[in-house]
């Protein structure tokens, strides 16, 4: 039987090759359609509100691919040692520009991922296009969130918001009501939307992932929706290609002033890494009793961009996932370039 360090090295090597292949598949999956912010006329806002609103208006297509190495990449970061103090049962850290895996633990072990699920929901909305589409909040969305004990964005039934305005409700406030609303509109219906989530995951090479809902709530069972650190790395790389996605997930809060057909909303980012770690730019956190603290994250320091995943970090406080991510990032940013 191989030693633990040897198993880790073998796993990292397999994952590096896997990431290169899966990222190529993800590109094909994510490039299906372009989106536009057409439709509703802009609402008059000012000051900080205007600046935040402007950040959600990006190009009509995903950003160009980050550089990707060939089948046998040469490492650009010299890896020595491992991050200390990380207690998460599943984790991975990689260079977002090259796909080089720096460290991993149980990278192919399937675990519930809680609200990280909402990243796939957002990705399908972005792929579908027309972020200016106006969507009425159904009463069933609020009932759904309450029934299953999910986080809510406190959406008001009958309010009409654009898909672009619902993305902060989904990704920052982690609203199960926002997930229901978007899935119901874009499915159409939850069943069709969840089927699209699974089909998209398959096209992206996320072979150890399954979705039972658009939000990651623990039903029908705690483990009905699951993924792996390796698969979620692919999902994060794909989602961060969209300027509209990036411009939301690094916000500490989002303010939507009262406007035509809807109430005023304030949504704080539930990701504890944002605002507490220099260079953090997203992506999404999650928690259930069975999933533990989970986080899909990305951070930038100088010319280096690191992306990683934490699954089932044991509770040591509400920011347990962010604490594990900080330990991984601090280690990764200290690594020297390969000579």
Mean pLDDT of 217-229: 95
- In the residue annotation, 63 being an active-site residue is answered as no
Pairwise pLDDT comparison (26 vs 280), residue with the higher score: 280
Tell me: pLDDT of 132 over 90.
Answer: yes
From the candidates 3, 87, 118, 227, which is the catalytic residue? 118
Using alpha carbons, select from 335, 276, 332, 289 the residue that is nearest to residue 309: 332
Strand partners for 227: 111
Backbone angles phi and psi of 237, in degrees to 5: -60, -40
Tell me: pLDDT of 25 over 90.
Answer: no
Secondary structure (H, E, C), the chain = CCCHHHHHHHHHHHHHHHHHHHHHHHHHHHCCCCCCCCCCCCCCCCHHHHHHHHHCCCCCCCCCCCCCCCCCCCCCECCCCCCCCCCCCEEEEEECCCCCEEEEECCCCCEECHHHHHHHHHHHHHHHCCCCCEEECCHHHHHHHHHCCCCCCCCCCCCEEEHHHHHHHHHCCCCHHHHHHHHHHHCCCHHHHHHHHHHHHHHCCCCCCECCCCCCCCCCCCCCCEECHHHHHHHHHHHCCCHHHHHHHCCCEEEECCECCECCEEEECCCCCCCCCCCEEEEEEEEECCCEEEEEEEEEECCEEEEEEEEEECCCCCCHHHHHHHHHHHHHHHCCECC
Strand partners for 189: none
What's the CA gap between 242 and 231, in Å, rounded? 18
From the candidates 115, 128, 213, 247, which is the catalytic residue? 115
Q: How would you label 52-88 residue by residue, b for 16+ Cβ within 10 Å and e otherwise?
A: bbebbebeeebeeebeebeeebeeebebeeebeebbb
- In the residue annotation, 115 being an active-site residue is answered as yes
CA atoms in the 13 A half-sphere facing the CB of 315: 8
Cis check for the bond before 95: say yes or no (omega within 30 of 0): no
From the candidates 50, 63, 72, 174, which is the catalytic residue? 174
Using alpha carbons, select from 164, 143, 142 the residue that is nearest to residue 153: 142
Q: At what angle do helices 163-171 and 176-186 cross, to 10 degrees?
A: 140
- In the residue annotation, 174 being an active-site residue is answered as yes
Of 20-24, 156-160, 222-226, which gets the smallest average pLDDT? 20-24
pLDDT-derived band at 62 (thresholds 50, 70, 90) equals confident
Is the pTM higher than 0.85? The answer reads no
Tokens representing residue 85 in the block: 């103090």
Strand partners for 93: 103, 308
- The pLDDT tens digits for 235-289 are 999 999 999 999 999 999 999 999 999 999 999 999 999 999 999 999 999 999 9
Instruction: Report pLDDT for 338.
Output: 85
Instruction: Report pLDDT for 255.
Output: 98
Which residues touch 270 (CB under 8 Å, ≥6 apart)? 115, 151, 172, 173, 174, 285
- The pLDDT tens digits for 42-58 are 333 333 333 334 344 44
Mean pLDDT of 17-31: 39
Strand partners for 298: 282, 307
pLDDT-derived band at 316 (thresholds 50, 70, 90) equals confident
pLDDT-derived band at 63 (thresholds 50, 70, 90) equals confident
What's the CA gap between 34 and 165, in Å, rounded? 18
Mean pLDDT of 174-186: 98
What's the CA gap between 72 and 179, in Å, rounded? 39
């Amino acid at each position: 039987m191989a030693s633990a360090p040897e198993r880790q090295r073998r796993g990292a090597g397999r994952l590096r090759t896997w990431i290169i292949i899966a990222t190529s598949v993800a590109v094909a999956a994510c490039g299906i359609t372009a989106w536009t912010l057409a439709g509703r006329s802009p609402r008059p806002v000012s000051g900080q509100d205007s600046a935040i609103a402007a950040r959600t208006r990006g190009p009509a297509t995903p950003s160009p691919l980050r550089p990707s190495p060939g089948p046998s990449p040469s490492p650009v970061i010299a890896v020595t040692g491992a991050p200390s103090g990380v207690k998460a049962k599943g984790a991975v850290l990689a260079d977002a520009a090259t796909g080089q895996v720096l460290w991993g633990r149980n990278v192919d072990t399937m675990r519930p991922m809680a609200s990280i699920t909402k990243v796939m929901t957002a990705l399908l909305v972005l792929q579908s296009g027309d972020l200016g589409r106006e969507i009425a909040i159904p009463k069933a969305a609020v009932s759904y969130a309450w029934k299953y004990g999910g986080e809510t964005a406190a959406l008001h039934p009958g309010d009409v918001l654009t898909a672009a305005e619902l993305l902060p409700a989904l990704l920052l406030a982690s609203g199960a009501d926002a997930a229901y609303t978007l899935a119901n509109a874009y499915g159409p219906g939850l069943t069709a939307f969840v089927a699209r989530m699974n089909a998209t995951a398959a096209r992206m090479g996320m072979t150890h992932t399954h979705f039972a809902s658009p939000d990651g709530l623990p039903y029908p069972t705690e483990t009905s929706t699951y993924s792996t650190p390796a698969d979620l790395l692919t999902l994060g790389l794909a989602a961060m290609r969209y300027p509209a996605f990036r411009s939301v997930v690094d916000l500490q809060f989002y303010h939507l002033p009262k406007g035509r057909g809807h109430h005023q909303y304030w949504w704080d980012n539930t990701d504890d890494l944002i605002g507490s770690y220099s260079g953090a730019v997203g992506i999404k956190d999650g928690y259930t009793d069975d999933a533990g603290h989970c986080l899909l994250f990305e951070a930038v320091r100088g010319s280096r961009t690191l992306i990683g995943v934490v699954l089932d970090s044991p509770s040591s406080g509400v920011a347990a996932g962010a604490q594990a991510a900080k330990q991984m990032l601090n280690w990764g940013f200290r690594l020297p370039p390969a000579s």
